[in-house]
Amino acid sequence: MTEEILQANQPKGVPPLPLTGERTLPDVPAENYWFRRHLAVYEWIAARVGGLRVVDMACGEGYGSDLMAAAGAASVVGVDANPEAHEHARLRYVRPNLRFDRNAVELFAEPCDAITFLQTIEHVQDPGAVLDHFKSMLGADGVAYVSTPNLLTLAPEGAEKSDNPWHIKEYRAEEFRELCEAHFGRVEILGLFHARKLRVHGWALKLGWDDVHKRLGLTQPFYDRFTAAIAASDFRLATEDLDRALDFLAVCRP
């Protein structure tokens, strides 16, 4: 039986969430790469939603909702149907301009200026209906930020899906663009890539670093330190070379 991994060092009275693979979490050292990979996109969005009413759909643990509220959004509502995630977020992240609503993304329908829906559209049965619902919540100047992993860098070469049991559909860049453009009038697609030390690590792997750390017996000590040191700034968003991106971010306007 696999040992349950829980968040470490939670504030008093806040129940830690278990790492299940369905959502990423802060405060789990082994998960830091994935947490920072998601956080990098939230930070990019947070810099663009100052003064706006934001709905963070499928907010999970709540860290992204809190980040956008702290960055100056007029209001943020974090929406998630999972009762444990909702209770955790409600207790951990408290700001005057932040609240959490336990609800399905298909049912929550408050008007807003911006919607975030990150790393979740690959989980839903009818993504087109979800995007239409988001569009109905936004005004003429609204924007929906939707991210998803790149099939080409997530799944084995030639496969149509990774082994992630929570994912229903994984997208190539053009598939994702076509999906979003079928429901929004203006769509820009950006890719998320490694930067700084993650980019250097990628070069090292090409030069044979995997063989070196194994021969020296350094694998576990090195990656325990390296993974914990990864920051959101070790990722970057760009518009070129999308087939090589880790994730896609669609900026969708009515």
Alpha carbon distance 131, 58 (integer Å): 13
Average of per-residue pLDDT across 203-227: 89
pLDDT in tens, 71-108: 999 999 999 999 999 999 999 999 999 999 999 999 99
> pLDDT tier at 24 (50, 70, 90 boundaries)?
very high
Relative orientation angle of helices 32-46 and 219-229, to the nearest 10 degrees: 20
Q: What one-character DSSP code corresponds to residue 14?
A: -
Q: Structurally, what CATH architecture does the domain formed by 29-194+235-253 represent?
A: 3-Layer(aba) Sandwich (3.40)
> pTM, whole model, 2 decimals?
0.95
pLDDT at 89: 98
Average of per-residue pLDDT across 30-57: 98
Tell me how many degrees the CA angle 17-54-118 measures, rounded to the nearest 5.
50
Which residues contact residue 101 at a Cβ distance below 8 angstroms, ignoring those fewer than 6 apart?
A: 77, 78, 79, 86, 108
**Residue 98 is which amino acid?**
L
> pLDDT tier at 2 (50, 70, 90 boundaries)?
low
Phi, psi of 215 (to 5 degrees): -65, -35
pLDDT in tens, 174-205: 999 999 999 999 999 999 999 999 999 999 98
pLDDT at 219: 87
Tell me how many degrees the CA angle 96-98-100 measures, rounded to the nearest 5.
135
